[in-house]
Structure 1
């Protein structure tokens, strides 16, 4: 059986203002039909460049050498018309960020139907029916209704499922997936991986999986290739690479992976974990909060009777599936969404009643770090201007010299040199940009930090660094933290208490270890069971147990 993807001696060099920059050097890979090859490595290792080169999607500034073949068709140097016929039919690609892959002004059903009609002679009505069925296959609820929605009306995880539906619409022989599950919660991630696994088994689709999630690699891949500075440094069967790595860099990557701690029975390890009654006034308190978006039959109840506290100096993890309301709850705490019911107090004051200067004073005590630093940092501003923005808003009497000093101090707090202040966000790595976002959040020395998926887009070693910086600064500065995440391993490691949301309601809450050790609800048990671990043998057992439980 011929390989669906053949890469021989691939080299990619980018032309920049400062000269030629080699991104990929002498990479050779193979993907067989029905096989999944995982390509792993830190940001800047060249893995996404390999994926783009395989689809002929590199920018004009790239110079490519070597050979890339898909189902016998040479990609390097092929005319655009031949590549257009190839893409979407013989090979498809799932990108990490659905916001850039979807047209914000076109309903999602129409976008999927367009992909179908671009490669098959079917009527508009038949393509529309297929679009609904594809939405159902990727696990989107009420697919008939969701097909008429615009991308902004869907959660991040739902948008990613739409992108996957578009990629599999024409049953391609090769699927290139660049971080396809980064924005997904663990249960949806498990469902998507099961879907892609069935696609590979039923139709013989080969998969090139680009990811930094070693649990996903263990769960899904047959073979692994590890990249470092543009070169493949280790490759082999998934069990060999993950359980018996030979290269120092591979061992370093695996050591940085956050893991749910389990005992021999496969349940989280108990620790000394108590939840004492704390007399301190909560930094933020939500009481019976309700939030409703829209009107009429299409209105969505995003939060329904949600109550939670975050006390001084503690970290509370907010977890749940996409659409559970966790980001909405964070926005309520930030004063960005006004609840239709219930109350929100910030530092002991009613946020809903605060107006003008009093409200600004309250909110100046809150810092926020968002998931995507590219979107949250203005590319037209320097790093110094980005970090100084809260000072200009809330410390108007501060001189320019005082602002520069405070910005430099904030950069050093997050382990960045002051010399970066004059650069633009685009000149920084993903981990550096996220630490700039953290510096901006902490420049006012807030009493509360709201972190909404702050590390999910980062590779494991950079994620480890950012989490260590946040934990170190919390010990030093004493701020409280509301930590929104779908990564239960990170929450277990970083938070003191956890609040589990489901469909806008609190499913359960309590000390993080005891909640993960002895979950009270089936929903929380299902979340824990869906967390992939970076051990292929253990992950196969967990997947089998999850399927058995689902059928009983």
Structure 2
């Protein structure tokens, strides 16, 4: 299928998307809620406009309004014109004709956007046949072409696969293939890379950029990742409390912001420190400074003594024979009291398996695991249960990890009911109130349910539940990946303060290298089940020893458009050189 190149916007200002004084009000049990107020913006052919802001700022509501996908309790006012058609007030028949042909959407989570019971090729073909009069055979052939175009290897075979048989990055490519199947004039991408590791994220951004350049498709990018904005956007619109407070070219907004809110938002962004050509001697000098300098006694520093958890030459194999999967291969690391160890790597690298081994949830096939000085393989069930009472866990998605049928107070008190059964109800309430104070939540929150809280508040509830037993080890698995930058900053600040107060060890699993560089003293880089590289964060992430770590760091977008353009060009040149060597 050949790409159709659309003409660029002319001097008269022909826009693919034009919002004029858009307002959205939701009718709720407690009264009307004004989610969007007087939003005016436009997207030209071949242009990418990034819509940024905190959770609740209204950016996703604007994107849904542009698709005509607002819920039944929403009322839109103003104008939302897509390629000449006003979406506000349009009937469902007209909207159905536009969606998937003139305007398409790429959602954040491909697992929920795809039908798990239908092969991916058939799902793409269905989108084509919904808007074009073509035979089933022709639609299937075009589906394979689209899979090839978005970079899926062996597209003929992958077209027959179900979504669960593909990786996260491949599923997102399938969603993009569906979105561009009918060559839309406007592509709306709502957090398209949030759940992806940095290398897959870079590949998806390269793909979206190339498609926009080839076809002249306008892109409305909704994101909280300022590095992605710097890497991909031409212009930026900043939303706050339902209104746009600043808009302009990406370099102006990110490097010379004018609004106080934009300045606060950018100041909260964790920034990856990048070393250029600095000698190894300087790397050693920086490592010595971190090991012996004033920061050695701060939270995250590694004191001498018995580690809270230690993995020694651990291997984990799932299955047998030819079907066996080697999840971990000879992994060794230790986390000491008061120290934060970052565990980083791509999806499938083994970081989550390593954290589950540390928690005692997966028994190693080989090697040993020591928790608070006790060998887990030689510990009986009752003693192991007592050891686990010293562990707190914070997971990526608080919506999934908190029981929606329980109040916040009941969720936080759950570990107390399991491990401290002799406590009275009043004693439990007192401990819950104290830990809510620690994570900066008002005590009245205990009477509310998780769904009544914001994303950042829910994650703090998860943190309160993890810390209510005052654990000696905190395992945080992607605790901030779904949070916007200001909320992320607040959650990390709370964890750091509580670590300083309580002295717990922290195993911090993340694909966000900028966060790990800021938060962890030491880091382990995982690759294909092995510990590829480990050491002080200052040395390992500034001056990596392996090509893999260097590639991982090169894929991280930084929130400076000028610097990021140079990094992207260097990364693409390195990839091209690598392909040339392989072909030679």
TM-score, normalising length: structure 2: 0.89
CA distance in 2 between partners of 1:297 and 1:124 (Å): 37
The equivalent residue for 1:487 is: 512
The equivalent residue for 1:180 is: 192
Instruction: Please tell me whether the aligned partners of residues 37 and 224 of structure 1 are also in contact (alpha carbons under 8 angstroms).
Output: yes
The equivalent residue for 2:344 is: 319
Q: Superposed, which structure 2 residues align to 1:19-38 within 5 Å?
A: 19-38=31-50
CA distance in 1 between partners of 2:150 and 2:475 (Å): 31
The counterpart of 2:291, out of the listed 251, 254, 274, is: 274
Instruction: Please tell me whether the aligned partners of residues 273 and 514 of structure 1 are also in contact (alpha carbons under 8 angstroms).
Output: no
CA distance in 2 between partners of 1:484 and 1:134 (Å): 35
CA distance in 1 between partners of 2:152 and 2:396 (Å): 23
* Distance of aligned partners of 1:159 and 1:363 in 2 relative to their CA distance in 1, 3 Å threshold: farther
SS in structure 1 opposite 2:291?
coil
The equivalent residue for 1:197 is: 209
CA distance in 2 between partners of 1:294 and 1:117 (Å): 41
* Distance of aligned partners of 1:64 and 1:396 in 2 relative to their CA distance in 1, 3 Å threshold: same
The counterpart of 1:372, out of the listed 394, 397, 408, is: 397
Which residues of structure 1 form unaligned runs of 5+? none
* Distance of aligned partners of 1:163 and 1:282 in 2 relative to their CA distance in 1, 3 Å threshold: farther
The equivalent residue for 2:245 is: 233
CA distance in 1 between partners of 2:16 and 2:238 (Å): 20
CA distance in 1 between partners of 2:576 and 2:412 (Å): 52
* Distance of aligned partners of 1:31 and 1:284 in 2 relative to their CA distance in 1, 3 Å threshold: same
2:79 maps to 1:63: no
Q: Deviations over 1:491-543 (max 9, x none)?
A: 00100111111122221111111011221111100111111111111111111
CA distance in 2 between partners of 1:395 and 1:143 (Å): 55
The Cα of 1:33 is off from its aligned counterpart by 1.0
The counterpart of 1:450, out of the listed 465, 468, 475, is: 475
The equivalent residue for 2:272 is: 260
2:220 maps to 1:208: yes
Instruction: Please tell me whether the aligned partners of residues 160 and 183 of structure 1 are also in contact (alpha carbons under 8 angstroms).
Output: no
The Cα of 1:99 is off from its aligned counterpart by 3.5
Instruction: Please tell me whether the aligned partners of residues 88 and 172 of structure 1 are also in contact (alpha carbons under 8 angstroms).
Output: yes
CA distance in 1 between partners of 2:415 and 2:160 (Å): 39
2:548 maps to 1:523: yes
SS in structure 2 opposite 1:482?
strand
2:29 maps to 1:17: yes
* Distance of aligned partners of 1:44 and 1:451 in 2 relative to their CA distance in 1, 3 Å threshold: same
2:436 maps to 1:424: no
The equivalent residue for 1:83 is: 95
CA distance in 1 between partners of 2:396 and 2:555 (Å): 22
CA distance in 2 between partners of 1:353 and 1:53 (Å): 59
Instruction: Please tell me whether the aligned partners of residues 108 and 149 of structure 1 are also in contact (alpha carbons under 8 angstroms).
Output: yes
Which residues of structure 2 form unaligned runs of 5+? 1-8, 293-300, 578-584
* Distance of aligned partners of 1:19 and 1:389 in 2 relative to their CA distance in 1, 3 Å threshold: same
* Distance of aligned partners of 1:283 and 1:339 in 2 relative to their CA distance in 1, 3 Å threshold: same
SS in structure 1 opposite 2:221?
strand
Instruction: Please tell me whether the aligned partners of residues 525 and 534 of structure 2 are also in contact (alpha carbons under 8 angstroms).
Output: yes
TM-score, normalising length: structure 1: 0.94
CA distance in 2 between partners of 1:153 and 1:400 (Å): 47
Instruction: Please tell me whether the aligned partners of residues 273 and 542 of structure 2 are also in contact (alpha carbons under 8 angstroms).
Output: no
* Distance of aligned partners of 1:140 and 1:266 in 2 relative to their CA distance in 1, 3 Å threshold: farther
* Distance of aligned partners of 1:22 and 1:445 in 2 relative to their CA distance in 1, 3 Å threshold: same
CA distance in 2 between partners of 1:140 and 1:328 (Å): 27
CA distance in 2 between partners of 1:277 and 1:422 (Å): 39
Per mean C-alpha deviation after superposition, the further-off stretch among 486-495 and 170-179 is: 170-179
The Cα of 1:281 is off from its aligned counterpart by 2.3
The counterpart of 1:514, out of the listed 511, 516, 539, is: 539
Instruction: Please tell me whether the aligned partners of residues 238 and 247 of structure 2 are also in contact (alpha carbons under 8 angstroms).
Output: yes
Larger radius of gyration: 2
Q: Deviations over 1:312-357 (max 9, x none)?
A: 2211111111221212222222233333333322222232443432
Per mean C-alpha deviation after superposition, the further-off stretch among 311-320 and 153-162 is: 153-162
CA distance in 2 between partners of 1:80 and 1:355 (Å): 63
CA distance in 1 between partners of 2:419 and 2:154 (Å): 45
The Cα of 1:131 is off from its aligned counterpart by 4.7
